[in-house]
Structure 1
Amino acid sequence: MRLLPVSSAADYAVRAETRSGDKHDISRDIPDGLRMALGGACLLAFWNHTPLTDLSDPGHLDAWESGNTTTQVLFIGLALAMGWALRRLGIERLRPLLAWPLIACAGWLGATLLTSADPLLSMRRAVLLAIVAMLAAGVLVLMRSVRQFALTMGGAALILVGSSYLAVALVPNLAIHNAFDLLNEPEHNGLWRGIFAHKNEAGGVMAMLVIAGLFAAGAGERILGWTVAIGAGVFLAATMSKTSIMLLPMVLGATSLCRFVTGPLARAAILLGPVLLLSVATLGSAFVPAIQETVGRVLPDTSFTGRTEIWDFAADKIAERPITGWGYGAFWRTERTMYGGAAENSWVNTADHGHNAFLDTALVTGLPGLALTLIAFALMPLRDLNRAAPSTRIDPATMLFLRLWMFGLTAASFESTLYSPNSPPWCLFILAVFGLRLRARHRTIAG
C-alpha cells in the first residue's frame, strides 16, 4: 500500500472514481466547462450579486423585512443547478462536513428560529443561509482539481476587478461615493466602491481577491493570479477601507508564519491571538474603561467611528434575551430598531448590523449560540489545519482556505462576517471552513 498526497477534496474524489473503474460513475461525470461555469457563477454571486447599487435611491432607507427579490431568484437558481450537480456527482461527497460542531450550530440555529421575535422572517432568511452553505460546499466538490479551482476563482476575481475599474471610469456616480449618497458619511466622498454598495464592502472583497490572486499564482496560474492580486491591491488602496487595509497584511503575515511553525499551540497563538487582541481592543474599549484608556494611547480614534453606540445598544438587547436571542435576521433593519430601538436620528436606527460578528451572534442566537459558533468556526478549523498540514509544507489550496478563514475571523471584530449570507466575507469564510474540513479528512489516501 502506498500513500498519495492530495491537494484538495476534489482530487481525492476524482482519483477514487478512477481506481474504482465503475462505468456508471464515469457516465455521471460533468464536463469541465460546466463545472467551471457553475463554480464561477457561485463565486461571483458570493462576492457581488447586486452590482452598481444606486445609493441615491430612497428605497435604501426602508426596512429590509421583505428581502431582495433579485437575490432570492439568483440564489434559488444557483441552488437548483448545484443540487443537480451534487446529485449527479454523489451527495455522499459532503459526508465529511457532518462534523458535530457544525451540526450543533445548525441545530441550535434551527431551534432559535422557533423562539425568534419574528419566526417567519427568521425562517425565510435562514433559507438563504442554508443555500449559501450548500453552494459553498458544492463548489469544493464540483472542482475537478486544484488547478481548475485556481483558474475558476482567478477568472471570477478578474471579472470583478475589471468591472470595478470600468465602473469607476464609465459610471463614476455609481462607483465613487458622492454627496448624493443617502447613507454616506461626508468624509467618504471621492472614495472608490466600484460595483459594490459601499467602500468598506469593496475593500473587504478586494482584500479577499488579493488572497485569491495569490492562490491562483501559487497553483500555476501565475499571470492571471498576479494580475488579480495587483489590480485588487491598488483598488483596495483607493477605497481607503481602513479595516481591510490593516487586516490584509496581518493575515498574510500570520498565515505565512505557519509554514515555519508546526506546533498546534504555536499556530493557535499566531492565528487566534490577533483575533483575541482585536476583540479586546474593540468591544473591550467600549465596556471596560481601563482598556479604553490603553487603546486610546495607541489609536487616535477610540470610538471606532461611533460603533460603540451600536455595541452598547446591542449589549443591552442581549441582556434581555441571553439564551435564545432575538432570532436570526429578526433584529437589525427591522421595525424594532428603525422606529423603536433608539433615539430619533441615531445611527442605530439605520444600522445594517452590529459591526461586530461575535456580538451579533449572541444577539440573534443567544450566548449558547455564540459558544457553539466559536467551537465550530474558530477551534475546529484550527484543528483541521493541523491535520491537513502538520508539517511546514502547506499547499496552495490549504493556504487559500487558511487565509480566507483568518480574514473572516479578524474582520469579525469590526463587521458582522458570521451568518450573513448577503455578506461576501461570510460566503468565502464558510467555503474556507468547509475547505479546511475536507482537506483534513482527505490529506492522504490509500492507493
Structure 2
Amino acid sequence: MKKLLLFAETCFVIFGLTFFTGGLALGGSEDGTTSGPVPVIVMTAIRYFIWLVSTLLVMLNAKRAIITVKRDWILWLFIGIVLFSFAWSDFPQWTLLANREVLQMTTFGLYIATRFSLTQQVKLYAMTFAIGGLASAALALGVPSIGKHLVDHPGAWKGIYDYKNTFGSMMVIAMVSFFALPIEHPRDRWLKWIGIAGATALILLSTSRTALLLGVAMLAMMTFYRNFRWQGRKSIVLGSLGVLVLGSTVVGVLSNWTELLKAFGRDPTLTGRTYIWSVALDRLWDRPWFGFGRSAFWSPESPYPKAIGYYLSQSFNAPHAHNGFIEVALDVGLVGLALFLICYVIGFVMALMKAYGSKHPEHLWALGFLTFLALNNVTESYMLRLANIYWVLFVATILTVKQKVPAFEDERERVPEVSQLRQFSESQT
C-alpha cells in the first residue's frame, strides 16, 4: 500500500510540473487566439485540482511545512507584497485574478520542498522533462499541425508547448536536471548522458537560438562546477573566481553585443526588446517604490501596452517586458525587486557553498537552476508572469537549499562540511 501511495504521489508531482510547463494544453495557435486543443474548462479544472491536492498534502505535513516556511522569511515577505499589490493597482480585480496564479505556483513549490528531499526532487524533474521531451517528439512527428510551427517559424518544433522558445527553455532545464541526476546504479550514468544528448537534439530541432546559447553556456558552467569544485574553505575562493570569470564574460559580450547579434543574424535591437525596456523603465519612475500591481501594467485596459507596441507595429500590443527583472519591478517596484534579489543572492551563495562542499551531483541542481533562471530572464519574462514552472522551481529550490540541517535521513543529503554550512546558514537567518 505504501509503494502504491508513493507511486501515486510521484505521478501527481509529474502531472503538476507538466501542467506548470504548459505541456498539458498541447500548445496553442500561432496567432495566439486559442490556447490549444485541450478545452479551457478542462485546463481550469486541472489547475484547481492540482492546487487543492497540493494544499491538502501541505496541511497533512503541516509540522514539516512550517519548518520549511521558516527557512526564508524574505521570500514570504516578497510574496506577501505581490499578493497585496491589488491595493495600489489601477485594475485591482485584474490583479486579484492574476494573484491566484501566484498562490497556486507557490503552494505547489512549497509542497515539493516540504515533501521531497533534494535527491528525490532532481529525479522528479528529470522524469518530468524526459516525458515532456518524448511527448514533444511524438507530437511533432505524429501530429505536426500541433507539434510544429507552420506559419511564423515553419518546421520549428514546439512539441506539447506553446512556442519554440518555450520548448527550448524546457529542454535546457532538462539538461540541467539530467546533469544533476544522482548516480546510484551503473545504468544511471548512461541515463544522464542519453538525457543530455536528447535534450540537446530537441533544442536544435526547436531552432531557438536563445535556448541553444543558454544550453551551451549551462553545459560549460555545470561541467566547470563539477570538475573543479574543491572541499573546505577553498571552495569559497573558487566560487568567487567563477563568479568573476562569468562577470567578465558577460561584460565582454555586452561590449560587443551588436556584432555578436549580427553574426547570429539577429536584429541589434533584439526584435524591439530594447525599446520595450527603455519605455518600461521610464514608466517605472511613475511608481518606483511598489510598482503598478501584479500584471496591471500589461492589463488589457492599461494604456501602456498599446503605446509601447505602436512603435513596433500599429496593430501590436506589447504582452510583457521581455525581461523578468523589469517585469518584477513593474509589478512590485524597486522595494519588491530588492527583496527578490536579496532572496536570490543569498540562495545562490548557499547553493554555491553546497555544490562545492559535496561530491554528489544532485547538489549542483540549485546552482545550475539559479544560474539558468538569471540568464533566461535577460530577454524573456520568465519569473512571475502567468502560471509557470520557473516560479514553482524557484520556490522549491530556494526553500530546499536554505535548509539548516538535512531534513531527511539520507546519507546522500549530507554535505561533508555540514558544520560549516550550518554556521553559514545561521548567519543568513
TM-score by length of 1: 0.77
Letter in 2 for 1:346: S
Deviations 1:313-350 (A, max 9, x none): 21222122212211101222523245455427738943
Q: d(CA) in 1 for partners of 2:348 and 2:181?
A: 23
RMSD: 3.3
Deviation at 1:386, TM superposition (A): 4.5
Larger mean Cα displacement after TM superposition, 271-280 or 294-303 = 271-280
Q: d(CA) in 1 for partners of 2:314 and 2:65?
A: 45
Larger mean Cα displacement after TM superposition, 405-414 or 215-224 = 215-224
- 8 Å contact from structure 2 (residues 25, 43) kept in 1: no
Deviation at 1:416, TM superposition (A): 1.1
Q: Secondary structure at the match of 1:59?
A: coil
Q: d(CA) in 1 for partners of 2:51 and 2:102?
A: 11
Letter in 2 for 1:353: H
Q: d(CA) in 2 for partners of 1:145 and 1:308?
A: 38
1:213 to 140, 153, 178: 178
Segments of 5+ residues of structure 2 without an aligned counterpart are 408-413, 420-429
Q: Secondary structure at the match of 2:97?
A: helix
Q: Secondary structure at the match of 2:402?
A: helix
Deviation at 1:52, TM superposition (A): 2.6
Which residue is equivalent to 1:374?
341
Which residue is equivalent to 1:299?
261
Pair 359,219 (structure 1): closer, same or farther in 2 beyond 3 Å: farther
Deviations 1:355-400 (A, max 9, x none): 11111111111111111111112x1112322453453x34232212
- 8 Å contact from structure 2 (residues 122, 180) kept in 1: yes
- 8 Å contact from structure 1 (residues 49, 71) kept in 2: no
Residue 80 (1) aligns with residue 52 (2)? yes
Which residue is equivalent to 1:251?
218
Which residue is equivalent to 1:6?
none
Deviation at 1:410, TM superposition (A): 0.9
Which residue is equivalent to 1:22?
none
Deviations 1:246-280 (A, max 9, x none): 11222232244334245436425535864796599
Deviation at 1:144, TM superposition (A): 6.4
Deviation at 1:78, TM superposition (A): 1.0
Pair 396,42 (structure 1): closer, same or farther in 2 beyond 3 Å: farther
Deviation at 1:404, TM superposition (A): 1.4
Calculate percent identity across the aligned residue pairs. Answer: 20
Deviations 1:144-170 (A, max 9, x none): 682x54543333223211111111111
- 8 Å contact from structure 2 (residues 277, 321) kept in 1: yes
Which residue is equivalent to 2:154?
189
1:168-317 equivalence runs, <5 A = 168-179=140-151, 184=152, 188-216=153-181, 218=183, 220=185, 221-259=188-226, 260-261=228-229, 262-264=234-236, 266-268=238-240, 270-271=242-243, 274=246, 278=250, 294-300=256-262, 301=266, 302-317=268-283
Pair 151,361 (structure 1): closer, same or farther in 2 beyond 3 Å: closer
Q: d(CA) in 1 for partners of 2:224 and 2:350?
A: 17
Deviations 1:161-186 (A, max 9, x none): 1111111111112121122xxxx3xx
Segments of 5+ residues of structure 1 without an aligned counterpart are 1-26, 62-67, 283-290
Q: d(CA) in 2 for partners of 1:145 and 1:274?
A: 26
Residue 48 (1) aligns with residue 13 (2)? no
Letter in 2 for 1:356: N
Deviation at 1:36, TM superposition (A): 1.1
Residue 164 (1) aligns with residue 129 (2)? no
Q: Secondary structure at the match of 1:438?
A: coil
1:116-195 equivalence runs, <5 A = 116-143=89-116, 146=119, 148-179=120-151, 184=152, 188-195=153-160
- Paired residues in the alignment total 394
Which residue is equivalent to 1:432?
397
Q: d(CA) in 1 for partners of 2:30 and 2:351?
A: 45
Q: d(CA) in 1 for partners of 2:61 and 2:3?
A: 7
Which residue is equivalent to 1:34?
8
Q: d(CA) in 2 for partners of 1:383 and 1:192?
A: 36
Pair 45,438 (structure 1): closer, same or farther in 2 beyond 3 Å: farther
Q: d(CA) in 1 for partners of 2:79 and 2:68?
A: 15
Deviations 1:393-430 (A, max 9, x none): 34232212221111111111111122135233333333
Which residue is equivalent to 1:409?
374
Which residue is equivalent to 1:102?
75
Q: d(CA) in 2 for partners of 1:321 and 1:420?
A: 19
